[in-house]
Structures are given as structure tokens and as C-alpha cells.
Amino acid sequence: MSNQISRSFQNIFLTFAAICSGVCLPALAFSQSNFGIEFKDKDKIVKILTLSDLATEVTAVSLKIFEIHEKKDQIYKAYPVRALFDKTFGKKWLKAEEIVFVSTDGYQASIPVTKFLSHDAYFAFAHDDDSPFTMTNILQNNEVVQLGPLYLIWDNMKSKALLKEGASDMPYQVKSIQLTTFATRFPNLSPPAKASAEVQRGFLYFRKYCMACHMINGEGGGKAPELNYPTSVVEYIKPEYLTRWIENPSSIRHNSLMPGLAQEIPDRTKITKEIIAYLKAMSTTKRSPKHQDMR
Ligand code: HEC
């Protein structure tokens, strides 16, 4: 019942966003210049900085990337992430395991610290030509999305591996950045201790491709429905349809806002199978959500 209410609320909101996107975005963009971005170590706030504060902390660059959400090159004004983290957190960010990026729309990307050490990430805060800081996301049914206050991008011109990953680990509307360990932040998401290797791999893929939007046992992103509690999707969606939800959502629901697992991902069929194995294991591991909303 409460899920139904939140879905109809979501629909009202989406309709509003659709009507609003042409007219209201410049106003939104304006209000965001004074928006405080939170930097947290576990649950403790270390700093709150506005976009103008950030400009005094690190030097901005112009960076050209292949914009996967639009399938074309794009140039952004951006701050190098490692330099910004050094300034805001000091060197202790290197000792964290995971960094969680929370967006204003409920998306929660959780990215291992190691990825920031092996690849160059940037926080984009404007288009290089100062056009409105929005994007038409072709991976999400051409939804027009606001990118500010911060949009996490990667220098994928230099790296084939990053290009192959598609749009994963690229949250926009980032308003909060939190150093943590996966186990402290998401204790309810992990599979049972004796889970098979297939389930464990499925868990890693779920973290990478699904949990930014979806919750399991109340943990993960708040942008899409909970998938496990109290009734798991494996209990009410037939297996062949579950595979289609993951690989080609718009073949199930017209106008679906869910991006399918990208075609380019090597071993896509195997990954889908392993994610479903993880979802099945979680259906026998229901843990009551303690905190529904972590935003
Ligand atoms: C960018 C956000 C996003 C990502 C990433 C995402 N989904 Fe979804 N998903 C949604 C939304 C939104 C819906 C709700 C229906 C719709 O809009 O199509 C949904 C619906 C679903 C449903 C149907 C639920 C129901 O009860 O009807 C399943 C199953 C599902 N997603 C599984 C997954 C899996 C597994 C992954 C990872 C491979 C994933 N999703 C990745 C946004 C996302």
C-alpha cells in the first residue's frame, strides 16, 4: 500500500518535472549556486561548501569527455576530484573503502576508493559554453535532467576500460559525499554468509549496476522501487520477464525510466544470470529496513 502511494507520488512528480523542465530549470539552476554540498566522514559532517566556496579550494579545468548519456563529445568545466578530496577530507579519504554520492533525486552511487586512484574523475559544475547545466539522457527515455550542483565525470578519452563501463559511476545532482566502508553503510544488502560464488559475483554486479536506484531490505538508492522487502521481485516476476527487466526494460513497460544493462558490457547474459542469483539469495534473507530514507 505505501509503495503504491509512493509510486503515485512519483508519477505526479514526474508529470510535474515534465511540464516544468522547459520553464523551471533555469530557475532551479540559479537557486543551486547557493546550495551547500555536504562532505561527510561516516555520519559526521566534515564540511559544507557552496559552489563558490569550491572555486576557492581547487582550480577548475575544461575537460572533454565522450558523454555516454548523450552519445557525443561534450566539454565541461570541472574540478579534479582527487585534489578536491585532498582539500576537503585531507589524506584520510585514501583510507576509506567506499565513497557514497547522494543526489537530490534519490540516486545513490557507491564507488570504491580504488577507482579514484586508478582513473581520473572530475566534478563538472557547468558546460564549457555556459549553456544551461542540463542534459537529455537518452539512456533514460530522453528525460531532461538537471546536472548541478555537481556531476561526477571520468576522463574516458584516455581510457577504453572506462568507455566500456557505460554510464555507471556517473551520478549527477550530487549534493552529499560520504566516506564509508560498504559493510557499515549497507549491512542489509550483503548476501547470506554461505552464499555461492555465483551469488557473490551477482552481489558485486548488483552494487555496480543496480543499487544506485534500487533498494534491497531498505538500503541503496531511493530513485526506484525496493526489490526485496517485504516481497521479492523473484516471487512475483516470472524468470524470463525478470531477465527482460534487466536487459530491456522498455520491452516490458513503455516509457520505463530504467536504463537496461548496456549492450556493450562484455558477458552481459552471464551478469544478468548472476544478478538474478543474488536476488534469489536475498529473497531468503529478508531483513527489516531500519532506515528507509538515507537522503
Ligand atoms: C537509473 C535508475 C535504475 C537503475 C540503474 C536500475 N533500475 Fe530497475 N527500475 C528503475 C525504475 C525507475 C523502475 C520503475 C519502473 C520504470 O520506470 O520502468 C525500475 C523497475 C525495476 C523492476 C520492476 C520492479 C517491479 O516491481 O515492477 C525490476 C525487477 C528492476 N527494476 C531491476 C533492476 C536491476 C536488477 C537493475 C540492475 C541491473 C536495475 N533495475 C537498475 C530504475 C533503475
Q: What number of other Cβ atoms are within 10 A of residue 195's Cβ?
A: 18
Which is the closest atom of ligand 1 to the Cα of 242? Answer: 29
pLDDT in tens, 112-166: 999 999 999 999 999 999 999 999 999 888 999 999 999 999 999 988 888 888 8
Side chain identity, residue 138: I
Q: Does 289 map to a domain?
A: no
Q: If we measure between CA atoms, which residue out of 232, 226, 256 comes closest to residue 244? A: 256
C-alpha of residue 259 to centroid of ligand 1, in Å: 8
The answer to whether 187 touches 89, Cβ cutoff 8 Å, is no
Q: Does 56 map to a domain?
A: yes
Q: Which domain holds residue 261?
A: 187-283
pLDDT in tens, 218-271: 999 999 999 999 999 999 999 999 999 999 999 999 999 999 998 888 899 999
Long-range contacts of 200-206 (CB under 8 A, 24+ apart): 201/274, 202/273, 202/274, 202/275, 202/276, 202/277, 202/278, 202/279, 202/281, 203/278, 205/271, 205/274, 205/275, 205/278, 206/275, 206/278, 206/279
C-alpha of residue 212 to centroid of ligand 1, in Å: 10
Ligand 1 contact, 220 CB (< 6 A): no
Residue 245: which CATH number?
Answer: 1.10.760.10
- Same domain as 107, residue 217: no
Which of residues 156, 184, 212 is at a domain's end? 184
In the predicted model, is pLDDT for residue 3 greater than 70?
A: no
Which is the closest atom of ligand 1 to the Cα of 139? Answer: 1
Q: Does 100 map to a domain?
A: yes
In the predicted model, is pLDDT for residue 6 greater than 80?
A: no
**pLDDT band at 13, cuts 50/70/90?**
very low
pLDDT value at position 292?
46
C-alpha of residue 96 to centroid of ligand 1, in Å: 29
C-alpha of residue 214 to centroid of ligand 1, in Å: 7
- Same domain as 273, residue 167: no
| Distance in angstroms (rounded) separating the CA atoms of residues 288 and 272 | 26
- Same domain as 62, residue 163: yes
Which of residues 137, 169, 184 is at a domain's end? 184
- Same domain as 105, residue 31: yes
